[in-house]
């Protein structure tokens, strides 16, 4: 679809985020920081965002939703809401991981990093020949996932990138906005039922055949 209208939202962290994409432009977006009460705030915020965008539910072509990794309860709230809306509207619901959202419009190769509890981190590597699936590691093991020329992407990554001599960058846009863009790209690919993304720690470090970064 050339110019889809997408409603996107995410509650995988201590926030409620919404966005509406029309064609290639985000025409409304909201973000509320909150660690609890997301289930009660999500639908009103969706209504406010749609009203600002002057879009009705029946005009949507698809729903984009953050599927994690992140807070267990928060992920379930968004995924359940997306499935319910998709069923009621007879529209596809497209799940997008937070790591994909972090890597949206980031330079390649890049390593998307998202903090997790107990000094752990979720990460995923993007780029030709170095891509790896999303996993969870101890932050102390981050150097094992570095490849030459890679950029560390995410909020608050400077403290991890600088000791390793790595370039770093924040996310290109807010999670819900990135989710909306990525859902539009994936519309029509057959993905219609989002599922929560829960990640366990990696069993082993990835291959380091390409060698460590040269500091």
pLDDT tens string 34-53:
999 999 999 999 999 999 99
CA 198/CA 183 separation, integer angstroms: 20
Q: What share of the chain is helix, strand, coil (3-state, %, to 5)?
A: 30, 25, 40
For 149-176, the DSSP string reads: T-EEESTT-HHHHGGGT--EE--SS-HH
Domains and CATH numbers, the chain: 5-97+173-186 (3.30.420.40), 99-169 (3.30.420)
Residue 51 sits at φ, ψ, to 5 deg, of: -65, -40
pLDDT at 214: 39
Residue 109 sits at φ, ψ, to 5 deg, of: -75, 155
pLDDT at 203: 57
**Is the per-residue pLDDT at 2 higher than 80?**
no
pLDDT band at 190 (very low <50, low <70, confident <90, very high): confident
**Segment 139-155, tens digit of pLDDT:** 999 999 999 999 999 98
Closest to 134 (Cα-Cα) out of 67, 197, 190, 196: 197
CA 49/CA 17 separation, integer angstroms: 10
Do β-strands 15-22 and 5-10 pair in parallel, antiparallel, or remain unpaired? Answer: antiparallel
Of 86 and 201, the structure prediction assigns the larger pLDDT to 86
Residue 167 sits at φ, ψ, to 5 deg, of: -70, 155
**Is the per-residue pLDDT at 88 higher than 70?**
yes
- Residue corresponding to tokens 């997306």: 82
Local structure of residue 35 (DSSP, 8 states): S
């Amino acid at each position: 679809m050339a110019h889809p209208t997408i409603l996107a939202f995410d509650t995988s962290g201590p926030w409620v985020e919404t966005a509406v994409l029309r064609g290639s432009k985000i025409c409304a977006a909201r973000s509320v920081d909150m660690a609890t009460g997301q289930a009660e705030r999500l639908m009103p915020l969706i209504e406010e965002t749609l009203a600002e965008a002057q879009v009705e539910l029946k005009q949507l072509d698809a729903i984009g939703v953050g599927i994690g990794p992140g807070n267990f309860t928060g992920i379930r709230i968004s995924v359940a809401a997306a499935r319910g809306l998709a069923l009621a509207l007879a529209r596809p619901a497209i799940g997008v991981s937070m790591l994909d959202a972090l890597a949206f419009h980031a330079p390649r190769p890049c390593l998307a990093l998202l903090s997790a509890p107990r000094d752990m981190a979720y990460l995923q590597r993007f780029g030709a020949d170095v891509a790896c699936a999303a996993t969870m590691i101890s932050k102390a093991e981050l150097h094992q996932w570095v490849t030459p020329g890679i950029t560390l992407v995410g909020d608050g990554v400077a403290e991890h990138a600088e000791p390793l001599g790595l370039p770093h960058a924040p996310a290109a846009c807010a999670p819900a906005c990135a989710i909306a863009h990525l859902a539009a790209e994936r519309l029509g690919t057959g993905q219609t039922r989002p599922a929560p993304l829960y990640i366990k720690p990696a069993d082993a470090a990835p291959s380091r055949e390409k060698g460590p970064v040269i500091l």
